[in-house]
């Protein structure tokens, strides 16, 4: 950082407090016959104060076990919340496809096709719509491979990846400790994500 200021120091202290407060947390992997890949995708729009880039939040589950999660700043500035959500959707779809290929390579059969849950209706329409218009032409190249997929819509309350992409109050963070069970209690209808060659 070339010119750190007080906001950067506050961010560093916040990260330190988070790490200190979560030293006791860990991941538990349980044996399960449920070999279903599910991913949850979300984004916040222009969340970075410094450069107004959006943040992608995503997590991938195999059955009830969390395989991977990410909270990453997007590489470009999104001019709309739909573009930010589409970018998060494309990133999550690529990661889910990679896991599908990995399990295929390892000879591990999946019970059903992988699916992605997303809570933005505009991102769903852009992913399903085979035609891009002038207003969405700037998104076409990056997200061409997800257009053919059909994703279900789920509420933000049930979206696991929401805890990775947004800043929330202490109460909501405590509630997000149970977000794992929330994702699997009220499940929206599943969709199929075709994995070519898998």
Position 192 pLDDT exceeds 90: no
41 close to 92: Cβ distance less than 8 angstroms:
yes
Which of 131, 122, 136 is CA-nearest to residue 89? 122
Mean pLDDT of 166-188: 43
**DSSP-assigned states of every residue in 17-44:** HHHHHTTT--------S---EEEEEEEE
Question: What pLDDT, on a 0 to 100 scale, did the predictor assign at position 14?
Answer: 94
Question: What pLDDT, on a 0 to 100 scale, did the predictor assign at position 64?
Answer: 87
Mean pLDDT of 71-93: 86
124 close to 93: Cβ distance less than 8 angstroms:
no
Angle ∠(163,1,14) on CA atoms, nearest 5: 35
Question: What pLDDT, on a 0 to 100 scale, did the predictor assign at position 49?
Answer: 79
Contacts of residue 54, defined as CB under 8 A and 6 or more positions apart, other chains included, come to 43, 44, 45, 46, 47, 48, 73, 74, 77, 78, 84, 87, 88
Which of 40, 99, 46 is CA-nearest to residue 73? 46
Q: Which two tokens stand for residue 129?
A: 């719509």
3 state DSSP class of 12: helix
With 0.85 as the threshold, say if the pTM is over it.
no
- Mean pLDDT is highest, among 2-16, 142-156, 167-181, for 2-16
pLDDT class for 170, splitting at 50, 70, 90? very low
State the DSSP code for 76.
S
pLDDT digits (tens, 9 = 90+) for 53-71: 999 999 999 988 999 999 9
Question: What pLDDT, on a 0 to 100 scale, did the predictor assign at position 191?
Answer: 37
Specify the higher pLDDT residue, 122 or 85: 85
Domain 33-185 CATH superfamily: Ribonuclease H-like superfamily/Ribonuclease H (3.30.420.10)
pLDDT class for 105, splitting at 50, 70, 90? very high
Question: What pLDDT, on a 0 to 100 scale, did the predictor assign at position 106?
Answer: 92
Position 189 pLDDT exceeds 80: no
CA dihedral 184, 185, 188, 194 (to 10 degrees): 20
Mean pLDDT of 2-19: 90
């Amino acid at each position: 950082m070339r010119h750190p200021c007080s906001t950067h120091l506050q961010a560093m202290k916040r990260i330190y407090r988070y790490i200190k407060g979560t030293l006791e947390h860990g991941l538990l992997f349980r044996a399960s016959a449920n070999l279903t890949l599910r991913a949850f995708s979300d984004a916040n729009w222009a969340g970075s104060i410094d450069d107004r880039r959006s943040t992608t939040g995503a997590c991938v589950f195999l059955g009830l076990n969390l395989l991977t999660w990410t909270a990453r700043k997007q590489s470009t500035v999104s001019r709309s919340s739909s573009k930010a959500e589409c970018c998060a959707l494309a990133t999550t779809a690529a990661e889910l496809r990679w896991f599908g290929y990995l399990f295929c390579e390892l000879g591990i059969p999946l019970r059903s096709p992988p699916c992605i849950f997303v809570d933005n209706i505009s991102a769903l329409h852009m992913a399903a719509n085979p035609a891009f218009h002038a207003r969405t032409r700037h998104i076409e190249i990056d997200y061409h491979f997800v257009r053919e997929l059909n994703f279900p819509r789920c509420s933000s309350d049930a979206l696991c990846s929401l805890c990775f992409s947004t800043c929330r109050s202490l109460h909501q963070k405590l509630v997000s400790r149970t977000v794992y069970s929330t994702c699997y209690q009220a499940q929206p209808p599943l969709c199929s994500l075709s994995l070519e060659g898998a």
